[in-house]
A and B are shown apart, each in its own frame.
Chain A
Amino acid sequence: MWERFFSEMTKETLEILRSVAQFLPRLMITLIIVLIGWVIAYVLRYLLRSILRLAKFDRLSEDAGASQFLKKAALPSTTELLSRFVFWVAWIGFILIGVSVLGIVGLQEHIGRFFGFLPRLFAALFVFFFGLLAASFFSRAALLASVNADLPSPRLIAATVRTVIVIFSVSVGFEELGIGEHTILVAFTIVFGALMLGLALAFGLGGRDLARRYLERRFMHEHKEEREDELSPL
């Protein structure tokens, strides 16, 4: 009986040792991949930070209003944030590749999903950022045009333009990420439709006289003597 026991013990021990011997090289490879990944991610971070600094990306994001937003949230600059983001995404990618080498059952599928999600995440971030940039540019353009055309409430016009563009880019971004696709699309449609209807009613009913005066000024050239531009600038 003792003989049988020792034989089984030895067999199992050898089996464990064989498994460990088989696992150890894979663990070593995993660690090496993680280490190389860290180096590559660090280099990527350094390169991206240098390129963004050269391209004055912080100024662009300041223009988009993203910098002010980050400052309020006590976050670093957009250049730093983007560099860190790329570092972590790259390193996590390498960690997952390393883990996949271990051959743990069921993990491959999750890793595949993660890599499949990355392009959509980048696309969504791209849409968010350029949405902010476009919102800032067009709202400023609307503000300047309204002030120079002497329209009432220029800041309201600018804020409306900004809000519509931000809502639009957020809805496109979420749609790209696959988060609440239908809800956000419907919400956007309702908000946008309501806004347009509200503006139409406000301008059509509330601002009838204003609309009439504006159209008269625009197309019938009445009250021409009141225009300051009558003093030819050039």
Chain B
Amino acid sequence: MPEETILNDDFLRELMNVGEVDLLVGVPTYNDARTVGQVVQAIRSGLLKYFPRQRAAIINADGGSKDNTQELVRAASISDMHHADNLYALRTLHCISTRYTGTPSSGTALHTIMAASDLLRANACAVISPDSTSITPEWIQTLLQPVVNDVNDWVTPVYRRHKFEGLLIRNLLYPMNRAVYSSRVREPYPTDFAFSGRFASHVAGLDTWSEEAARVGAEMYLTIAAITGKFRIVQTYLGPKSRGEGAPADLVAAMRRSVGTLFWSLDSTFNIWSADLDPEPVVTIGPEHELDPEPLRFNRKRLHDMFARGVGELEPVLRSILSHSTLCQVQQVASSPEGELGYTDELWAHTVYEFAAAYHKSVISRDHIVQALAPLYRGRTYTFLAENRDNSPEALESNVEALCLAFERSKPYLLEMWNGRK
């Protein structure tokens, strides 16, 4: 049993005292004292308001915080704030905070939550990021209801974002995930999501949790597990997401968590994605995308300079990853003056696929391959920002769609590179 290895004795004892539950909400934390109290209170209010008759538990899996995060979770869970809104539980609402062993990682935290959910035989579970300060009690209903009512297995969020937020998702994760796995999940790297007990049991038992890529980018890994495992997926609109919430502080860390895990997953799922897959539309509850067109200040010159300098400095590294023709085209783009830089959709799709193939073949250290993609992503970001600076949200969406089609058209190229020598 997987829970025997991941759940410690004290935590197991507490879970056994709880018995079985209908709903479970997990909060993975590590030094999140600044925001976790507010998030736990919103979760508690959501459960009391929308699921008062259900047996529920809040599980906090902590990586060993030194800023009293666990104490704040416990305090928030017994806070009487909900009495002000006349919210009373008809069943006991349990709240358990546990410290998992090992180094802090989202993977170990989510594995702990999944194993706990499996043990408590929860029908529906949600995971809320401790950084999601824009959470409202309605999020809990919106995330859990599709699982409780409609026997869906994996619920990913759709947020209202600024049009220039989540650029890595729009320029790489969504198009590539859609092209490779034929699944139109808009947020393949969700920080707030829900899943069924069936999915938790399936995933908790997988032996890939010990792999670095699954531990570091568990959110991405779970989405891919849901797609490739043919689980029923639904997207649900949660509302606005504050800028920077849940996102790693720097680009390379973000790429390791998301792009690294996406590349890594291609190895074990080759038989699935290499076959001709029928496109599977994903049902969306609410709008499929909502963008905030407000102007946003950013330093485009710095992006251009970092791209151009990065391509020049990393030439020996890029030579071992990219094909000669793609490298020449990238170098040509990098030598363009600031106003004329254009990293086209096709070139970007080819670049990403060649990086994925190089990752598969481990031509150099896999972590170095992911790091080497960062300067090229800056070039692509520059082009995307320049193209869409004055665009309406609709025009921007049509550009994203064009990029997705370029990735889909280039999928045979990925297969060719995958099986080829370089």
Q: Are B251 and A144 in contact, CB atoms less than 8 angstroms apart?
A: no
Interface size on B, residues (CB 8 A): 45
- Chain B residues with Cβ below 8 Å from A155 are 313
Q: Are B374 and A148 in contact, CB atoms less than 8 angstroms apart?
A: yes
Question: Is B350 positioned at the interface, with any CB of A under 8 Å from its CB?
Answer: no
- Chain A residues with Cβ below 8 Å from B277 are none
- Chain A residues with Cβ below 8 Å from B381 are 228, 231
- Chain B residues with Cβ below 8 Å from A141 are 365, 368
Q: Are B189 and A234 in contact, CB atoms less than 8 angstroms apart?
A: yes
Kindly state the separation between the CA atoms of A225 and B245 in the bound complex, as whole angstroms. Answer: 17
Kindly state the separation between the CA atoms of A225 and B297 in the bound complex, as whole angstroms. Answer: 8
Question: Is B389 positioned at the interface, with any CB of A under 8 Å from its CB?
Answer: no
Kindly state the separation between the CA atoms of A146 and B368 in the bound complex, as whole angstroms. Answer: 12
**Residue from the set A145, A226, A232 with the largest chain B CB neighbour count within 10 Å:** A232
Q: Are A140 and B317 in contact, CB atoms less than 8 angstroms apart?
A: yes
CB nearest to B361 among chain A residues:
A59
Question: Is A109 positioned at the interface, with any CB of B under 8 Å from its CB?
Answer: no
Question: Is A37 positioned at the interface, with any CB of B under 8 Å from its CB?
Answer: no
Give which listed residue, B243, B249, B302, contacts A226 with CB less than 8 A: B302
Question: Is A143 positioned at the interface, with any CB of B under 8 Å from its CB?
Answer: yes
CB nearest to B370 among chain A residues:
A144
Give which listed residue, B245, B247, B371, contacts A144 with CB less than 8 A: B371
Kindly state the separation between the CA atoms of A145 and B314 in the bound complex, as whole angstroms. Answer: 11
Kindly state the separation between the CA atoms of A229 and B247 in the bound complex, as whole angstroms. Answer: 10
Dominant SS at the A interface? Answer: helix
Kindly state the separation between the CA atoms of A145 and B367 in the bound complex, as whole angstroms. Answer: 11
Q: Are B251 and A233 in contact, CB atoms less than 8 angstroms apart?
A: yes
Q: Are A233 and B167 in contact, CB atoms less than 8 angstroms apart?
A: yes
Given that A144-B372, A155-B313, A234-B189 are known contacts, is A137 also in contact with B365, CB under 8 Å in the complex?
yes
Give which listed residue, A63, A146, A227, contacts B364 with CB less than 8 A: A63
Given that A141-B368, A147-B314 are known contacts, is A231 also in contact with B254, CB under 8 Å in the complex?
no
Question: Is B250 positioned at the interface, with any CB of A under 8 Å from its CB?
Answer: yes
Q: Are B247 and A232 in contact, CB atoms less than 8 angstroms apart?
A: yes
Cβ contacts B119-159/A at 8 Å (1 or 0 each): 00000000000000000000000000000000000000000
Kindly state the separation between the CA atoms of A13 and B167 in the bound complex, as whole angstroms. Answer: 99
CB nearest to B367 among chain A residues:
A141
- Chain A residues with Cβ below 8 Å from B168 are 233-234
375-393 of chain B: CB within 8 A of chain A:
375, 378, 381, 385
Q: Which of B175-183, B221-229, B303-311, B336-344 contacts A (4 or more CB under 8 A)?
A: B303-311
Given that A140-B368, A148-B252, A229-B249 are known contacts, is A234 also in contact with B164, CB under 8 Å in the complex?
no
Q: Are B165 and A231 in contact, CB atoms less than 8 angstroms apart?
A: yes
Q: Are B374 and A231 in contact, CB atoms less than 8 angstroms apart?
A: no
CB nearest to A154 among chain B residues:
B313
Q: Are B248 and A234 in contact, CB atoms less than 8 angstroms apart?
A: yes
Kindly state the separation between the CA atoms of A225 and B299 in the bound complex, as whole angstroms. Answer: 8
Q: Are B166 and A147 in contact, CB atoms less than 8 angstroms apart?
A: no
Q: Are B378 and A140 in contact, CB atoms less than 8 angstroms apart?
A: no
CB nearest to A228 among chain B residues:
B303
Give which listed residue, A150, A231, A233, A234, contacts B298 with CB less than 8 A: A231
**Residue from the set A63, A140, A154 with the largest chain B CB neighbour count within 10 Å:** A140
Kindly state the separation between the CA atoms of A147 and B252 in the bound complex, as whole angstroms. Answer: 11
Q: Are A143 and B313 in contact, CB atoms less than 8 angstroms apart?
A: yes
Give which listed residue, B246, B297, B302, B363, contacts A234 with CB less than 8 A: B246
Give which listed residue, A144, A227, A228, A230, contacts B378 with CB less than 8 A: A228
Kindly state the separation between the CA atoms of A81 and B306 in the bound complex, as whole angstroms. Answer: 42
Q: B322 → chain A, closest Cβ, in Å?
A: 15
**Residue from the set A140, A228, A230, A233 with the largest chain B CB neighbour count within 10 Å:** A233
Q: A22 → chain B, closest Cβ, in Å?
A: 61
Supply 17 A–B pairs (Cβ within 8 Å), ascending by A. A144-B372, A146-B313, A147-B306, A147-B309, A148-B374, A228-B306, A228-B381, A229-B249, A231-B164, A231-B381, A232-B166, A232-B247, A233-B169, A233-B254, A234-B168, A234-B191, A234-B257
**Closest 10 pairs between A and B when the two form their complex, measured CB to CB:** A233-B168, A232-B247, A144-B371, A234-B247, A233-B254, A154-B313, A232-B244, A147-B310, A226-B299, A228-B303
